[in-house]
Amino acid sequence: MLGKTTFASAAVAALLAAAPAAAQSNSGLSIISPGPEDWWVAQSTNTLAWTCNSSPYENFTITIANPNVPNYQVPQPIIAVQYNYDCSESITQEQSNRPAAPGYVIALVNTINSTEVYASATFEIKALGAAYPTSTPSATQSGGASGTGSGSNPSSTGTNGAAGFYIPSAFGIASALALSWIFA
């Protein structure tokens, strides 16, 4: 029977070994941030960004592990199902509640088979109060979309039919349908 530390080390080793193969065979998905020069700060909201426009995957699970930190050696999911089209996600302090240390591995894995690694990156979590990196990679540097735009604040005084009604969620779909017949 494998001990906890042996199993954990094997799990992280398997994750790291699978990552290069995933990068070669499925190079459409890679992690932009965090990385070796783009760390996270402990007990803070941090950003995870990935190349999304060139990836064949619709969704994935986000896992994090550190082979050098007790209780965090086995990859643990921090987001069970993340949709690829988002291109980035703010990781809350509750999701990334890990001690400051180098050697963390964040991975984007298959939602059903976590041994199928789509992309991974090694990074550091610095102590609370540490400065964030001065510049971070952006999705536009790796093929993501960018753009500018302008708009106006829509008025809420128009006649937009049912779109102008607020229906509390506890009211239920049946009530909403009934109201739409009344006001139709």
pLDDT tens digit sequence for 86-145: 999 999 999 989 999 999 999 999 999 999 999 999 999 999 999 988 865 554 444 443
pLDDT by residue (tens digit) across 6-32?
Answer: 444 444 444 444 444 443 335 589 999
Q: In what order do the strands lie in the sheet with 76-83?
A: 40-41, 117-126, 101-109, 59-65, 76-83
Task: Taking residues 60-64, report their average pLDDT.
Answer: 97
The string of DSSP codes covering 18-42 is: HHHHHHHH-TT--EEESBTTB-EET
Q: In the structure, what pLDDT confidence band is assigned to residue 159 with cuts at 50, 70 and 90?
A: very low
Residue 128 has a pLDDT of 94
Domain 4-142 has CATH 3.30.830.10: no
Stated pTM of the model: 0.63
* Boundaries of every domain in the chain: 4-142
Query: Which among 83, 135, 140, 141 has a CA at the least distance from the CA of 108?
Result: 83
